[in-house]
Amino acid sequence: MRVAIVHEWFSGIGGSEKVVKAFHELFPDAPVYVFVHNKNNMPEEYNKMDIRTSYLQKIPFSKTKYQKLLPLMPHAVEQYDLSDYDLVISSSTCCAKGVITKADTLHICYCHTPMRYGWDLYHEYIKDKSTIMKWIISSQMKNIRLWDKLSSDRVDCFLANSNNVAKRIQKNYRRNSKVIYPPVDTDFYTLKGECGDYYLIVSRLVGYKRVDLAIEVFNELNLPLVIIGGGEEYKKYKTMANSNISFLGRLSDEEIRNYYRECKAFVFPGEEDFGITPVEAQACGRPVIAYGKGGTLETVIEGQTGLFFYNQDKQSLKEAVIKMEKSYKIFDSKVIRKNALRFSVNRFKSEIMDFVTEKVMEFHNKV
């Protein structure tokens, strides 16, 4: 069976890239189609894949400013010639699902989320823009939204990375989906040693992750906070922070694992579709303080593996941190890790292969 994998971009490692890695381990001969590939930001194991980029790769600055190219992505994804493949697996957060396949090619989309800035986060996305920019974005987004809905009909089977996302697939595309949680490397992220005295954030430093909220709270509480990750808000956040907050930039997985293992608790102030980093922290036995909305409601157990705060504001998070300060010793690291094991890589691969096998048989019986 000839298989192709379609993803949006290889510009750094996040949860969706780890899903693509698992797909490629299942289908090692499959080429990976991406809009742009920034080799400098990707581990060698990804760079060794058979990566096939779109014409967007040739545009100056596309490897770092690819988000600006959204209006071109629907056209770019439709230029991939996938006529030689029996199975196409798309890993989609915006446009990858829009590939055009032949009638006898099965297209399975693993949807990390419908295009959030086109649907449920649209008003938040434009609220700080100028009047002129709002007009430009709204006129473009109307067409992109129409294409997004239309292109969802090209998918034969949808997979969702959480029940949270499955609801949005139904809402935006009127399509049913099966939930298969993404893979977390619980063999790599393991228990070791005693916890330290610092709190930890591992995140891309972009606005919607709400790292700024955590900085404000920890500035007030004067508790040690370590922030790992880079992004467009790095300089702004570093300027906001007091001396009790450390910024370490991008680190290796081994270094991040050490910080997971030794933190007092992991802090997750944003709303995510799933959110892999809270599960990685739990695999290392550390409790999580999470915003009680989105994917964390499916991965964190209140009072057993972490604490929720339900208003995304400074006071609500502050109260949760104070509560953790008083109660972190009651959390059992083995219980926390056991919860994380239900998201293992082997479990993911097994569920994916069972689903693919079932759908391939159904599809070819119909064809």
Domains in the chain and their CATH numbers?
3-183+344-366 (3.40.50.2000), 199-342 (3.40.50.2000)
Query: What pLDDT digit, counting tens, does each position of 198-208 carry?
Result: 999 999 898 88
pLDDT value of position 140: 73
d(CA 363, CA 356): 10
pLDDT, position 122:
54
The structure tokens listed for 179 are 């939930």
Structural contact between residues 91 and 70, judged by C-beta atoms closer than 8 angstroms: no
To the nearest 10°, the Cα dihedral for 217, 218, 221, 225? 160
The model carries a pTM of 0.88
The continuous run of DSSP H or E covering 4 comes out as: strand 3-7
pLDDT at residue number 310: 96
Is the CB of residue 217 less than 8 Å from the CB of residue 198?
Answer: no
* DSSP reduced 3-state for 50: coil
Low pLDDT (below 50) residues in the chain? none
Mean pLDDT, the chain, rounded, equals 92
Yes or no: say if 273 and 164 are a contact pair by the CB < 8 Å rule.
yes
Distance CA 356, CA 367 (A): 16
CB 200 within 8 A of CB 289: no
Q: What angle do CA 347, 155, 103 make, to 5 degrees?
A: 115
pLDDT at 63: 85
Nearest CA-CA partner of 74 in 38, 90, 98, 56: 98
- Pick from 45, 97, 276, 93: nearest CA to 183: 276
pLDDT at 367: 56
Please, what sign has the CA dihedral across residues 348, 308, 17, 248? negative
Query: Beta strand pairing status for 36-37 and 306-309?
Result: unpaired
Contact between 161 and 110 (Cβ < 8 Å): yes
Residue 37 carries which DSSP code?
A: E
Using one digit for the tens of pLDDT, what is the confidence trace for 118-145?
566 656 666 667 777 667 667 777 788 8
DSSP 8-state secondary structure symbol assigned to residue 29: T
**What is the Cβ-side half-sphere exposure of residue 23, based on CA atoms within 13 angstroms?**
29
58: its two tokens: 């040739």
Would you state the pLDDT for residue 26?
97
Rounded Cα gap, residues 203 and 78, in angstroms: 32
Long-range contact pairs involving 73-76 (C-beta distance under 8 Å, separation at least 24): 73/8, 73/35, 74/98, 74/144, 74/147, 74/151, 76/35
The residues, any chain, with a CB within 8 Å of residue 168's CB and separated by 6 or more, are 113, 114, 119, 120
Distance (Å, rounded) from C-alpha 324 to C-alpha 306? 9
DSSP 196-220: -S-EEEE----GGG-HHHHHHHHHH
The answer to whether 145 and 119 are in contact (CB under 8 A) is yes
pLDDT of residue 119: 62
